[in-house]
């Protein structure tokens, strides 16, 4: 059955304002430093592209692709790296850029993995954070928007690889999940 876009969650204007706010915060916090933004493929690529262009301190990018094992609806927290970083993060000020933090398990794994590589500092910037009970605790310094536990698409987020190109973020109807 074709998925149905049920509800607009964030308009392009709201997203733009949120990304501006995060870029301003990061630019202030990292004044005088250089940042390595680590985008988590595929979802984060749209957000990272917009965020990076609004940050005013020097920025480098790299990307990592991971997949998590588990059932269709529940991730197990076991993560496999499908594409590793090209760069060495040792001594760099790293910010992991995520489109969405859901259970937090992917991020918990990525934090451990990145910390083991010896960055000068490590923070996380997530456009969306789901508010769900029992979520694994990860310290996310930069959060764009907190959203309820609904399935969202657009602005990089997909349903079966579709809808990543939508300029807004919307909730899908329950029967399409
Ligand atoms: C999404 C998102 C995070 C992860 C968050 O990626 O980009 O990496 O899920 O889930 P968690 O907090 O429950 O661990 P997804 O696996 O959908 O891949 P994609 O970015 O390629 O769409």
From first to last of its 177 residues, the chain has per-residue pLDDT tens of 667 888 999 999 999 999 999 999 999 999 999 999 999 999 999 999 999 999 999 999 999 999 976 655 556 677 899 999 999 999 999 999 999 999 898 999 999 999 999 999 999 999 999 998 777 678 899 999 999 999 999 999 999 999 999 999 999 986 655
Measured in whole angstroms, how far is the alpha carbon of residue 89 from the centre of its chain? Answer: 18
pLDDT for 143: 98
Q: How many domains does the chain have?
A: 1
Nearest to 176 by CA among 155, 157, 159: 159
Write the pLDDT tens digit of every residue in 137-157. 788 999 999 999 999 999 999
Give the tokens for residue 32: 């005088």
Residue nearest atom 22 in ligand 1 by C-alpha distance: 43
What separation in Å is there between the alpha carbon of 91 and the centre of ligand 1? 27
Residue 84 lies in a domain: yes
Rg (CA), the chain: 16
Distance from Cα 31 to the centre of ligand 1, integer Å:
30
Q: Residue 3 falls within a domain, yes or no?
A: no
146: domain CATH number is: 3.40.50.2020
Residues with CB under 6 A from ligand 1: 40-43, 68, 75, 98-107, 158
Cα of 44 vs centre of ligand 1, distance in Å, is 9
- Residue whose token pair is 């859901």: 102
Strands of 5-10's sheet, edge to edge? 5-10, 169-172, 152-153
The yes-or-no answer on residue 88 being catalytic is: no
For residue 6, the model assigns a pLDDT of: 85
In this structure, is residue 88 part of a structural domain? Answer: yes
In a domain, 38, yes or no: yes
Q: What is the pLDDT of residue 71?
A: 55
Nearest to residue 151, comparing CAs of 133, 168, 176, 127?
176
What pLDDT is attached to residue 173? 83
Q: Residue 102: which domain range? A: 11-70+79-150
Q: Is residue 54 part of a domain?
A: yes
Residue at 34 is within a domain: yes
Q: Is residue 113 part of a domain?
A: yes
In a domain, 164, yes or no: no
């Amino acid at each position: 059955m074709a998925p149905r876009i049920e509800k607009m969650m964030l308009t392009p204007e709201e997203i733009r304002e949120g990304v501006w706010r995060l870029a301003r915060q990061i630019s202030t916090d990292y004044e005088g430093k250089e940042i390595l933004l680590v985008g988590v493929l595929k979802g984060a690529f749209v957000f990272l592209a917009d965020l990076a262009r609004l940050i005013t301190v020097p920025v480098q990018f790299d990307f990592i692709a991971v997949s998590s094992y588990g059932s269709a609806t529940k991730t197990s927290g076991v993560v496999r790296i499908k594409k590793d970083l090209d760069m060495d993060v040792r001594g760099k000020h790293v910010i992991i850029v995520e489109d969405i933090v859901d259970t937090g398990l992917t991020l918990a794994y990525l934090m451990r993995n990145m910390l083991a590589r010896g960055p000068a500092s490590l923070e996380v910037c997530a456009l969306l954070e789901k508010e769900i009970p029992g979520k694994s605790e990860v310290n996310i310094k930069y959060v764009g928007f907190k959203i309820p536990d609904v399935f969202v698409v657009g602005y990089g987020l997909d349903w079966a690889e579709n809808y990543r190109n939508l300029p807004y973020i919307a909730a899908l109807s329950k029967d399409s999940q």
